[in-house]
């Protein structure tokens, strides 16, 4: 339903109840001596408590994955994190902070190493601090060993003082910038926001979404506006729903990256009869549903809460979708409707992404709880885009020149991974955090392609993004992006020194993309000429980056903080001073992030 933007009332956020008052921090045993093996620059944003390293072979004592916030385990972890912050306040490290009022729990996750991670939003005087979170990290024994995030004092009155503008006023100002209709109910939330000037402002966060009536090269929009709550100044704006980015430069046809990633082959289930034909991945076996009329539909109940692929009927916004059916459950046959062909790839891509998350990263879908994956194919007419809309996937058919159907494995994995980022670190799609957001989707999308290539010989793994669908007629093998050499596309950068010249999130993603490539494969950065000798392999690299994303990164993480997060993740997995942790540091140094 299209809602006129000037008449729609905003949805106001309900305040989060404060935590229980913090109790003094007590320890039942003498702490182990803290490790000093890691270089000091890797630990600057992590407040370390004393720690004994967890052995990888030890069995976790609690279930892994997200914990219900009201569960006894989660409540205990939350309280210990609050107590830890409060003790630091008492010792003058974060003066004036009442942790019970300053932190609101978002999620609690228990991992396979036996650690528990408590993610909390910062609040000040009852108001959310936009983009700022604190994460408490508890060891196997349930003691807080470190904190990620900023808990410094904020100016008094920013949350409690009356403001000149209301939520509706801020919405009206944002709508003038948006200049269009919204597809979802707008939201306008009172927040505290740190502007580019470094100062904190009383503000409103307004979100407006538009995904209807998109032309072939239009971009879907989930626009975010931060409006000063007193002056009405637009402090910043960004689009959280980007889709693919068309190459801006000519770009070179990419030869395969030198070498193949060192990786152990994951344990994969044996396949049955591969009689379904894809556009891009050869013969595969799809899990489907048999209907009462004897036909089959693209509904898979064997993975989590389901993997479903439907036909959006060329609408630019998925609304009244149609199930996609087949008479004999042999999909993609020459006699099948042409509309089914892209759907086969989308369904396969979602299934491989689910399996990749579970088998390689140990996560049950996007939310860690089996979240249903829905893919809408045939979005728009000749639409050259694919995007995650915050709830489900949307694939255009392409125009046959710039692209074919945008349902390749790496594009599917890339876009669905935006959902993974939303459910974990929530990286803001702007500035350095936006470049990281895009890079993590490229990394996970490439990971899906690598994973599928281990079980499907028709899938060719490489370090290019979207090459199978991009410019299908020219035969040059060009792509949207190149992780082994980001500057090949004539747009992206591969080194942090060039970030001021290229801050658009797809272009700046090349920094972290190349760091990941060098970590996994080894090689030389084109700009710095710095070489990383040997890599740690694809599986280890993916697990390090995923752990950093899920447990050590917050919405406004910078490139430097991402370096720290990945080093910390590698240290958790392989030990302080390990070859893996050293290679993580080397790969970031090669791209100018120190």
Interval 109-155: pLDDT, tens? 999 999 999 999 999 999 999 999 999 999 999 999 999 998 878 99
CB 393 within 8 A of CB 327: no
Average pLDDT over residues 335-341: 94
Count of alpha carbons within 13 angstroms of residue 173, beta-carbon side: 25
What CA–CA distance (Å, rounded) separates 165 from 229?
5
Task: Quickly state the pLDDT bin for 336 (edges 50, 70, 90).
Answer: very high
Report percent pLDDT > 90 for the chain. Answer: 73
Task: Quickly state the pLDDT bin for 258 (edges 50, 70, 90).
Answer: very low
Its CATH architecture, for the domain 272-420, is Roll (3.10)
Instruction: Give the class (CATH, top level) of 167-239.
Output: alpha beta
What CA–CA distance (Å, rounded) separates 33 from 50?
6
Task: Quickly state the pLDDT bin for 220 (edges 50, 70, 90).
Answer: confident
φ/ψ of residue 425, rounded to 5: -70, -25
Residues 6 or more apart from 454 whose CB is under 8 A from it? 265, 266, 268
Query: In the chain, what's the furthest Cα-to-Cα distance?
Result: 74
Query: Where are the chain's structural domains?
Result: 65-149, 167-239, 272-420
Q: Given this model, what pLDDT does residue 184 score?
A: 85
User: b or e along 116-133 (b: 16 or more beta carbons within 10 Å of the residue's beta carbon)?
Assistant: bbbbbbbbbbebbbbbbb
Residue 387 DSSP SS3: strand
CB 255 within 8 A of CB 461: no
CB 571 within 8 A of CB 43: no
Task: Quickly state the pLDDT bin for 255 (edges 50, 70, 90).
Answer: very low
Residue 174 DSSP SS3: helix
Nearest to residue 470, comparing CAs of 349, 353, 389, 386?
386
Based on the residue annotation, tell me whether 347 is a catalytic residue of this protein. Answer: no
Q: Mind listing the pLDDT tens digit for each residue in 570-585?
A: 999 999 999 999 999 9
Q: Is the pLDDT of residue 261 over 80?
A: no
Helical residues (DSSP H) of 481-537, grouped into ranges: 505-521
Measured distance between the N- and C-terminal CA atoms of the chain, rounded to whole angstroms: 48
What CA–CA distance (Å, rounded) separates 138 from 140?
7
- Picking from 92-96, 119-123, 260-264, which range would have the lowest pLDDT averaged per residue? 260-264
Nearest to residue 361, comparing CAs of 266, 438, 465?
266
Residues 6 or more apart from 480 whose CB is under 8 A from it? 244, 245, 246, 247, 464, 465, 466, 467, 470, 489
Cβ neighbourhood burial of 290 (10 Å; 0-12, 13-18, 19+) = exposed
CB 148 within 8 A of CB 132: no
Selecting among 415, 438, 539, 580, the annotated active-site residue is: 415
Stated pTM of the model = 0.86
Q: What angle do CA 138, 65, 345 make, to 5 degrees?
A: 140
Q: Given this model, what pLDDT does residue 50 score?
A: 35
Which one-letter DSSP state was computed for residue 391? S
Q: Given this model, what pLDDT does residue 398 score?
A: 94
Average pLDDT over residues 248-275: 48
Cβ neighbourhood burial of 4 (10 Å; 0-12, 13-18, 19+) = exposed
| Cα Rg of the chain (Å, integer) | 24
Nearest to residue 319, comparing CAs of 10, 2, 7?
2
Measured CA to CA in angstroms, residue 156 lies from 50, 173, 316 at distances of 33, 26, 46
Whether 65-149 shares its CATH topology with 167-239 is answered yes
Average pLDDT over residues 512-533: 98
CB 277 within 8 A of CB 516: no
Q: Mind listing the pLDDT tens digit for each residue in 180-198?
A: 788 889 999 999 999 988 9
Residues 6 or more apart from 192 whose CB is under 8 A from it? 124, 127, 128, 129, 130, 154, 158, 159, 200, 201, 202, 203
Comparison of pLDDT for 65 and 18, the residue scoring more: 65
Q: Given this model, what pLDDT does residue 181 score?
A: 81
Selecting among 137, 495, 506, 551, the annotated active-site residue is: 506
Question: Which H helix or E strand runs over 572?
Answer: helix 559-574
Q: Mind listing the pLDDT tens digit for each residue in 388-437?
A: 999 999 999 999 999 999 999 999 999 999 999 999 999 999 999 999 99
Please name every residue paired with 104 in a beta bridge, in sequence order, or none if there are none.
121
Average pLDDT over residues 313-341: 90
Task: Quickly state the pLDDT bin for 97 (edges 50, 70, 90).
Answer: low
Q: Is the pLDDT of residue 284 over 50?
A: yes
Q: Given this model, what pLDDT does residue 242 score?
A: 72
- Beta strand 276-277 with 127-138 is unpaired
Nearest to residue 506, comparing CAs of 485, 532, 480?
480
Q: Does the 65-149 domain belong in CATH 3.30.200?
A: no
Residue 297: how many other CB atoms lie within 10 Å:
18
Task: Quickly state the pLDDT bin for 376 (edges 50, 70, 90).
Answer: very high
Comparison of pLDDT for 8 and 458, the residue scoring more: 458
Comparison of pLDDT for 21 and 210, the residue scoring more: 210
Task: Quickly state the pLDDT bin for 217 (edges 50, 70, 90).
Answer: low
Q: Given this model, what pLDDT does residue 262 score?
A: 45
Whether the CA torsion 403, 406, 412, 418 is positive or negative: it is: positive
Task: Quickly state the pLDDT bin for 553 (edges 50, 70, 90).
Answer: very high
What CA–CA distance (Å, rounded) separates 203 from 196?
14
Residues 6 or more apart from 34 whose CB is under 8 A from it? 48, 49, 50, 51
Q: Is the pLDDT of residue 246 over 90?
A: no
Q: Mind listing the pLDDT tens digit for each residue in 457-478?
A: 999 999 999 999 998 877 778 9
Please name every residue paired with 227 in a beta bridge, in sequence order, or none if there are none.
204, 234
Q: Is the pLDDT of residue 499 over 90?
A: yes
Based on the residue annotation, tell me whether 506 is a catalytic residue of this protein. Answer: yes
CB 241 within 8 A of CB 182: no
- Picking from 120-134, 305-319, 344-358, 501-515, which range would have the lowest pLDDT averaged per residue? 305-319
Q: Given this model, what pLDDT does residue 62 score?
A: 61
């Amino acid at each position: 339903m299209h809602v006129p933007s000037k008449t729609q009332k905003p949805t106001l956020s309900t305040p989060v109840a404060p935590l229980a008052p913090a109790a003094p921090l007590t320890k039942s045993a003498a702490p182990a001596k803290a490790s000093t093996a890691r270089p000091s620059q890797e630990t600057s944003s992590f407040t370390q408590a004393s720690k004994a390293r967890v052995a990888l072979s030890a069995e976790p004592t609690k279930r892994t994955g997200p914990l219900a916030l009201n569960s006894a385990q989660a409540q205990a972890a939350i309280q210990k994190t609050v107590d830890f912050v409060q003790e630091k306040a008492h010792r003058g490290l974060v003066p004036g902070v009442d942790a019970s009022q300053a932190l609101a729990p978002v999620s609690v996750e228990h991992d396979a190493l036996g650690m528990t991670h408590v993610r909390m939003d910062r609040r000040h005087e009852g108001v959310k601090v936009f983009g700022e979170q604190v994460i408490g990290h508890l060891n196997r024994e349930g003691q807080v060993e470190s904190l990620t995030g900023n808990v410094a004092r904020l100016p008094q009155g920013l949350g409690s003082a009356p403001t000149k503008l209301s939520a509706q006023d801020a919405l009206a100002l944002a709508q003038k910038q948006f200049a269009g209709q919204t597809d979802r109910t707008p939201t306008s939330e009172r927040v505290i926001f740190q502007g580019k000037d470094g100062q904190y402002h009383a503000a409103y966060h307004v979100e407006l979404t538009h995904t209807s009536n998109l032309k072939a090269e239009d971009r879907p929009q989930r626009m975010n506006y931060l409006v000063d709550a007193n002056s009405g100044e637009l402090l910043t704006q960004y689009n959280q729903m980007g889709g693919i980015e068309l190459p801006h430069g000519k770009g070179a046809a990419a030869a395969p990256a030198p070498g193949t990633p060192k990786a152990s082959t994951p344990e994969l289930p044996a396949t049955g009869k591969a009689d379904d034909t894809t556009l891009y991945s050869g013969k595969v076996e799809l899990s489907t549903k048999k209907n009462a009329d004897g036909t089959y539909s693209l509904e898979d109940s064997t993975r989590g809460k389901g993997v479903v692929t439907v036909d959006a009927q060329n609408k630019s916004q998925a609304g009244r979708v149609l199930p996609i059916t087949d008479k004999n459950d042999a999909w993609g046959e020459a006699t099948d409707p042409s509309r089914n062909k892209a759907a086969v790839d989308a369904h396969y891509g979602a299934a491989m992404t689910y399996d990749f998350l579970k088998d390689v990263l140990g996560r049950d879908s996007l939310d860690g709880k089996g979240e249903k994956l829905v893919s809408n194919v045939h979005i728009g007419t000749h639409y050259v885009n694919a995007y995650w809309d915050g709830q489900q996937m949307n694939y255009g058919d392409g125009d046959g020149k710039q692209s074919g159907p945008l349902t390749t494995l790496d594009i599917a994995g890339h876009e669905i991974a935006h959902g993974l980022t939303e459910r974990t670190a929530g990286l803001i799609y702007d500035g350095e955090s936006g470049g990281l957001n895009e890079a993590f989707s490229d990394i996970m999308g490439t990971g899906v392609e690598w994973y599928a290539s281990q079980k499907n010989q028709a899938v060719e793994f490489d370090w290019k993004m979207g090459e199978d669908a991009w410019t299908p007629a020219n035969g040059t093998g060009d792509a949207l992006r190149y992780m082994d050499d980001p500057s090949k596309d004539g747009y992206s950068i591969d080194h942090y020194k060039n970030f001021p010249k290229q801050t658009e999130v797809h272009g700046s993603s090349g920094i972290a993309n190349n760091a990941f490539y060098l970590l996994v494969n080894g090689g030389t950065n084109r700009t710095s000429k710095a070489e990383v000798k040997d890599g740690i392999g694809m599986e280890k690299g993916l697990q390090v980056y995923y752990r950093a994303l899920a447990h050590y990164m917050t919405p406004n993480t910078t490139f430097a903080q991402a370096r720290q997060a990945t080093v910390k993740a590698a240290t958790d997995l392989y030990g302080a001073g390990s070859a893996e942790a050293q290679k993580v540091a080397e790969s970031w140094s090669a791209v100018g992030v120190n």
